[in-house]
A and B are shown apart, each in its own frame.
Chain A
């Protein structure tokens, strides 16, 4: 870990810059994880409705967002 990283790691979450960056980064991570998990669920034969229920969103929402990305 270099100095910059140590500094950032030590920075308090009370610092708005760090806190906001963390939120933005988390959003990015969530998008990637969602895409991955939806792909995986589809490849395991999960129906869109089941995926939507697990994600807590509507079937239309999850289908519209992911349908053209998943194989099968």
Chain B
């Protein structure tokens, strides 16, 4: 199963398994995998997360960042203002109509048919599913090998546990957008 994993993807998998073992948590889950992607600074997955301002520290914090802003950063809000869009006003009206936090819901990825997990070892059922999905992400992108970016996309497709899921949402990380950034990042690296 792991023979098609790149060096950084192997590192991610190993880091996650080791971290879960050290924490006495037993088997590693998707949260451990996401953290492992984030700490692997050299990896494409980590670079994509960093482009949203998501770091391992941010993922481990219990404070998920500014709320009610659809995951937009100050810089993005300024950029919108420069083309005449007052995002703050949008947030204000949405909050008025739907209450605080209405724009903080994660934007989940398109569904994929369910299948059985293929690998065992130090990972729980969900993490095994992540690993299987990362293979499918690579296939869908016609990539020969599985890198940390495919693990990241698999995690976004599958969903990660709270509070990580909220941290990602508030930084504006969605499956579709991250997929674009993965391609940009790979294109830049090539």
Contacts and interface: CB of A to CB of B under 8 A. Distances in A.
B56 interface: no
Given A9-B78, A40-B98, A26 B172 contact: no
B74 to A, nearest CB: 6
Nearest to B71: A28
B80 interface: yes
A29 B83 CA distance: 14
Given A29-B70, A40-B98, A35 B80 contact: no
- Most chain A beta-carbon contacts within 10 A, residue among B75, B81, B94: B81
| B contacts with A: majority SS | helix
A67 interface: yes
Contacts of A21: 75-76, 79
Interface in A15-72: 15, 18-19, 21-22, 24-29, 31-33, 35-36, 39-40, 64-65, 67-69
7 contacts: A5-B78, A9-B78, A26-B80, A28-B76, A29-B72, A32-B71, A39-B105
A68 B111 contact: yes
B80 A22 contact: yes
Contacts of A27: 177
Given A4-B74, A8-B82, 12 more contacts: A4-B78, A5-B74, A8-B78, A21-B75, A25-B76, A25-B80, A27-B177, A28-B76, A29-B70, A33-B94, A36-B98, A39-B105
Interface residues of A, number: 31
Interface residues of B, number: 30
Contact of A29 (B84, B87, B105, B110): B87
A36 B105 CA distance: 8
B79 A18 contact: yes
A22 B70 contact: no
B85 interface: yes
Nearest to A67: B111
Given A35-B107, A64-B111, A65-B110, A28 B78 contact: no
B31 to A, nearest CB: 20
Interface string B120-162: 0000000000000000000000000000000000000000000
Contact of B108 (A5, A18, A69): A69
Contacts of B84: 13
Nearest to A65: B110
A58 to B, nearest CB: 14
Contacts of A10: 82
